[in-house]
A and B are shown apart, each in its own frame.
Chain A
Amino acid sequence: MSDKKKEIDLEEIIAKYRPVVGFRVKKSLGAANPDWEDVANEIMLNVVEKIKKGEFRGESSIGTFIYTITSRRIVDYIRQKSKVLRHAPEPKPLPSPHEQIEDKERAELIAGAIKKLKPKYRETLYLYYYRDLSRKEVAQKLGISLRRVSERVNYSQKLLRKLIKK
Chain B
Amino acid sequence: MIKCKFEDLIDDYLLNRLSETNRENFEEHYFNCTHCYEKMVEREELISVIKNKGYTIFQDEYLAEETKRVPWFESVRSYFTPRQWAFAAVSAALFLIVIFGVIPTLNRTSPQFYINNEDVVRGESITLISPLIDIKSVPSQFKWKSLGKNVEYNIYIYNEKLIWTGTTKENVITLPEEVRKLMTSDQKYSWKVKAFSPEGFLIAISSRVQFKIIPTK
Question: With A64-B31, A115-B57 known to touch, is A20 a contact of B46 (CB < 8 Å)?
Answer: no
Contacts of B42 in A (CB 8 A): 157, 161
Contacts of A31 in B (CB 8 A): 48
Q: Is A140 a contact of B46 with CB atoms below 8 Å? A: no
Which range contains the number of B residues in contact with the other chain? 35 or more
Contacts of A135 in B (CB 8 A): 11
Q: Compute how far the CA of A134 lies from the CA of B16 in the bound complex, rounded to whole angstroms.
A: 11
Residue A110 at the chain B interface, CB threshold 8 Å: yes
In the complex, identify which listed stretch (A1-9, A48-56, A141-149) lies at the interface while the others stay far away: A141-149
Q: A114: which of B44, B50, B82 is its contact (CB, 8 Å)?
A: B50
Q: Compute how far the CA of A134 lies from the CA of B42 in the bound complex, rounded to whole angstroms.
A: 20
Contacts of B54 in A (CB 8 A): 126, 129-130
Q: Is B82 a contact of A122 with CB atoms below 8 Å? A: no
Question: With A115-B57, A122-B61 known to touch, is A20 a contact of B37 (CB < 8 Å)?
Answer: yes
Contacts of A144 in B (CB 8 A): 81
Q: Is A143 a contact of B81 with CB atoms below 8 Å? A: yes
Interface 1/0 per residue, A121-145 and B, CB below 8 Å: 0110110111010110001110111
Residue B207 at the chain A interface, CB threshold 8 Å: no
Contacts of B53 in A (CB 8 A): 107, 111
Interface 1/0 per residue, A86-107 and B, CB below 8 Å: 0000000000000000000011
Contacts of B150 in A (CB 8 A): none
Counted as pairs of residues, one from A and one from B, with CB atoms less than 8 Å apart, the total is 97
Residue B43 at the chain A interface, CB threshold 8 Å: yes
Residue B49 at the chain A interface, CB threshold 8 Å: yes
Contacts of A64 in B (CB 8 A): 28, 31-32
Q: Is A123 a contact of B81 with CB atoms below 8 Å? A: no
Interface 1/0 per residue, B67-93 and A, CB below 8 Å: 000000000011111110000000000
Q: A20: which of B31, B45, B49 is its contact (CB, 8 Å)?
A: B31
Q: Is A130 a contact of B58 with CB atoms below 8 Å? A: yes
Q: Determine the main DSSP class of A at the interface with B.
A: helix
Distance of A148 from chain B, by nearest CB (Å): 9
Q: Is A111 a contact of B58 with CB atoms below 8 Å? A: no
Contacts of A123 in B (CB 8 A): 61
Distance of A116 from chain B, by nearest CB (Å): 11
Residue B47 at the chain A interface, CB threshold 8 Å: yes
Distance of A128 from chain B, by nearest CB (Å): 8
Q: Is B46 a contact of A160 with CB atoms below 8 Å? A: yes
Q: Is B32 a contact of A63 with CB atoms below 8 Å? A: yes
Distance of B81 from chain A, by nearest CB (Å): 6
* 12 residue pairs A–B, Cβ–Cβ below 8 Å: A19-B41, A20-B30, A64-B32, A107-B53, A110-B45, A119-B60, A126-B58, A126-B62, A130-B58, A140-B80, A143-B77, A143-B82
A contacts, CB < 8 Å to B? 16-17, 19-20, 23-24, 31, 61, 63-64, 66-67, 70-71, 106-107, 110-111, 114-115, 119, 122-123, 125-126, 128-130, 132, 134-135, 139-141, 143-145, 150, 153, 157, 160-161
Known interface pairs A106-B45, A126-B50; 13 further A-B residue pairs with C-beta atoms within 8 A, sorted by A's residue number: A23-B41, A24-B31, A63-B28, A107-B53, A111-B56, A114-B57, A129-B15, A130-B58, A134-B17, A144-B81, A150-B11, A157-B46, A161-B42
